[in-house]
Amino acid sequence: MASDDLRPVLRLKPKADARRIRFGHPWAWADDLVLDRRSRAIPAGAVAVLEDAERRPLGVGIATVGAKIGLRLLDRDPDAAIDADWLQYKLRAAFALRESLFDAPFYRLVHAEGDGLPGLIVDRFGDTLVVQPNAIWLEERLDVLVDGLCDVTGCLNVIKNGTGRARTAEGLPEEMAVVRGAAPDGPIPVPMNGATYLADVMGGQKTGLFYDQRPNHAFASKLAAGARVLDVFSHVGGFGLACLAGGAAKALAVDASQAALDLAQQGAAAGGATLDTRNGDAFTTMENLAGEGAVFDLVIADPPAFAPSKKALDKGLRAYERVARLAAPLVAEGGVLILCSCSHAADLGKFRASCLRGIGRAGRVPRLIYTGFAGPDHPVHPSLSETGYLKALAFRL
């Protein structure tokens, strides 16, 4: 890794709130920085020292002065060497937490700012790691990062998943590549909550599986014994497979991806169960099910991020309301409706209000019995709401 002894300096404007950063926030907005000719010339991804308006150091981080976030702090020590040893220290801390939480090597290993590594997502599937380097500073240090990951975990295979909006925002190209070892022969079996999921790490959504819903899957499975279950936006069977493992009498999975539904059915078969599926638009399918008079004891809707940004918030909240309105009539009297959001722009209060509007418009009377979030392998940075994006609400109707 290149030396960064002669680091450039970025300074906050006099009116910028340095206390926000001093008290824990890891980002400095570009609008809050003094951007003269010298600072504007700092290349994206460079290590830079951040100072307040009185030139007192606040820490060291990664500069991206041409973006909305002008600097992401890496270390509160302005003299910290951002080198291979520093990176491995962070990775070892992340690894130690997961090893204390889980008895099998299937989890999110690194959760970006939640683990002090902005832009980095790493999911572990046994001896295979899927890495999402969503920031230029990681792309430039990819070899060092992969070396550190393999040293810390002992994993043999590393897949680079260089896709998604975050990389586009950093001006990075989309790329899928095997950067260490070999690609798996096929989908990787992943045991969770008594079920077996199949993760397509080379061609599936994101890293191939969503670990964040693990505790919410577990809650749903407790309600599933003998139940008729509907899992909408099921991906590879998330809630449906957990409910079958929990003793559901019957489960129907709905998703727009036939490939994902095929993996869901294979996962069910691996657990000795049968999963019914419907391939198609979730909204249309829920309308069709209502027209057929279908009723379920437990209905779960876990859609994609309808509000991925503040700009999309109003439209996203209307979409969540529509999901609730269409799902509620499918729930039997005394049954449970679980509604989820992975949109960080829609906070818990706004999401809950949208759900209640939709349920009310469907003529149902709800009682909130559970509020869930992502599992502990997705640590939340206390000053950064984006790291606490997932919400799950369970209503008895």
Q: 46-73 pLDDT, tens per residue?
A: 999 999 999 999 999 999 999 899 999 9
Question: What is the rounded average pLDDT of the residues 326-333?
Answer: 98
* pLDDT value at residue 140: 92
What class, spelled out in words, does domain 192-396 have in CATH? alpha beta
CB 90 within 8 A of CB 78: no
* pLDDT value at residue 73: 96
All residues at 6 or more sequence positions from 385 whose CB lies less than 8 Å from its CB, including other chains: 344, 347
Residue 251: strand pairing partners: 229
Greater confidence (386 vs 329) lies with 329
Give the residue extent of every domain in the chain. 9-75, 84-180, 192-396
| Average pLDDT over the chain, rounded to an integer | 95
Res 379 pLDDT > 80: yes
Residue of 155, 340, 342, 355 with catalytic role = 342
Strand segments (E) across 83-136: 106-111, 120-125, 128-133
84-180 fold: Transcription Regulator spoIIAA (3.30.750)
CA distance 55 to 350: 40
Question: What is the rounded average pLDDT of the residues 326-337?
Answer: 98
Question: What is the rounded average pLDDT of the residues 285-314?
Answer: 95
CB 201 within 8 A of CB 227: no
Res 4 pLDDT > 70: no
Q: Which of 12, 95, 101, 99 is nearest to 48 (CA)?
A: 12
All residues at 6 or more sequence positions from 257 whose CB lies less than 8 Å from its CB, including other chains: 205, 235, 279
Mark whether 342 is an active-site residue: yes
CB 346 within 8 A of CB 313: yes
Band (86; pLDDT cuts 50, 70, 90): very high
* pLDDT value at residue 5: 55
CATH code: domain 9-75 is 2.30.130.10
How far from chain centre, in Å, is Cα 385? 13
Question: What is the rounded average pLDDT of the residues 316-335?
Answer: 98
Q: Classify residue 384 as left (phi > 0), alpha (psi -120 to 50) or beta.
A: beta
Question: What is the rounded average pLDDT of the residues 286-299?
Answer: 98
Q: Classify residue 367 as left (phi > 0), alpha (psi -120 to 50) or beta.
A: beta
Q: Which residue has the tokens 């990951």?
A: 149
Which of 1-10, 23-32, 319-328 shows the lowest mean pLDDT across its residues? Answer: 1-10
